[in-house]
Structure 1
Amino acid sequence: MAQISTEVLGDERGTLLAFVEAQRTAIRETLLGMTEGQAASRPSASELTLSGVLKHVAEVELTWLRMAQQQPNERQRGMDTWADMFRLTEGESVPGVLAFWDGVRKETEAFIAAVPSLDETFPLPEAPWFPKDGKVSMRWMLLHLVEEFARHAGHADIVRESIDGTKAMG
């Protein structure tokens, strides 16, 4: 069960990062005790799997981090590979994706610690779902990650409960 850290920094950055981490933890915990086969199973009407949710959120965090850093995304998805964001492919494993996400987490936290202000903005890419010439702040990005991870933590809870009856909230 996700726990509130006792090491939460009292400032806004620390608080936002603690909320992001709480939602990361909620997702990671849905995979505890799961085999690779169980993590890849689709026990509900949804197409989602635990390992697919895990990979998706890890890659989403990397995407937002690279946008904020204004650097190329080494895992950028095109239409031909978009579905691969939601499933493990050849050579991938739950431990491997967890390790990848942990690296992204460390990089996100270091980046946020280094930005002079959470008010700093970065441009959004051209896409039908973003406003033309849109920009968002670092604060907005962190809140968006909380929203994204919380949504998918809920999905993962339902998938996990469908697999073996384990409930996130007891």
Structure 2
Amino acid sequence: MAQMSTEVLGDERGTLLAFVEAQRTAIRESLLGLSEEQAASRPSVSELTLSGLLKHVAEVELNWLRLAQQAPGGTSQAEPGGGKERTAETWGEGFRLVDGESVPSVLAFWDGVAEQTAAFVAGVPSLDDTFPLPPAPWFPKDVKVSMRWMLLHLVEEFARHAGHADIVRESLDGTRAMG
């Protein structure tokens, strides 16, 4: 796991990045001590698995980072997703490990994405800087959002999935995040 600073900067960027990291940590910790088989298991009626949630949030963060950078999006051939854009047929692959992916490899990938996100946010002139939302039925058409919005969205996304991870982990072996 990448070594993230434990110092919370007093400014807004540092605070938002600390909240993003806290939610990343909650998801990472849900996988502690599990085998690959346990991490890929479905102990409830949900389709969600811990390894699938891990892959999903890592890819989501990279995609939002690329959108904010206004750079070509998606993953490279060496990253989860293998550089393929998701289609309706391959959407489910974003929620499960495939083609030799492992929990350690996805954790390492996510660590790299987290470092890129922190470096990008540190270098952005203002959290008020904007970028366009991608075309999607769930986004308004022709809307731009700020870097601040993106960071808050990552907190929201990760917190939602950290809650899912808590339930999956407790269903697996009774381990609870909050004791």
Relative to the length of structure 2, the TM-score reads: 0.91
Note the C-alpha offset of 1:129: 0.9
Amino acid at match of 2:36: E
The corresponding residue for 2:44 is: 44
Render the CA deviation track for 1:63-94: whole Å, top value 9, x for unaligned. Answer: 10000001112333222321100000021000
How many residues end up aligned between the 2 structures?
166
Please list, as runs of the form range in 1=range in 2, the aligned pairs for 1:4-153 lying within 5 A after superposition: 6-75=6-75, 76-153=85-162
Note the C-alpha offset of 1:6: 4.7
Write the distance in 2 (CA, Å) between the matches of 1:142 and 1:111. 12
Counterpart of 1:122 in 2: which secondary structure? strand
Q: Which deviates further from its counterpart, 76-85 or 117-126?
A: 76-85
Write the distance in 1 (CA, Å) between the matches of 2:136 and 2:102. 31
Q: Where does the alignment leave 5 or more consecutive residues of structure 1 unmatched?
A: none
Write the distance in 2 (CA, Å) between the matches of 1:79 and 1:105. 27
Percent identity, aligned pairs only, is 80
Amino acid at match of 2:116: E
Q: Does 1:165 align with 2:169?
A: no
Counterpart of 1:34 in 2: which secondary structure? coil
Render the CA deviation track for 1:66-123: whole Å, top value 9, x for unaligned. Answer: 0000111233322232110000002100000000000000000000000000000000
Write the distance in 1 (CA, Å) between the matches of 2:103 and 2:46. 20
Counterpart of 2:68 in 1: which secondary structure? helix
RMSD across aligned positions (CA): 1.0
Write the distance in 1 (CA, Å) between the matches of 2:65 and 2:123. 13
Counterpart of 1:153 in 2: which secondary structure? helix
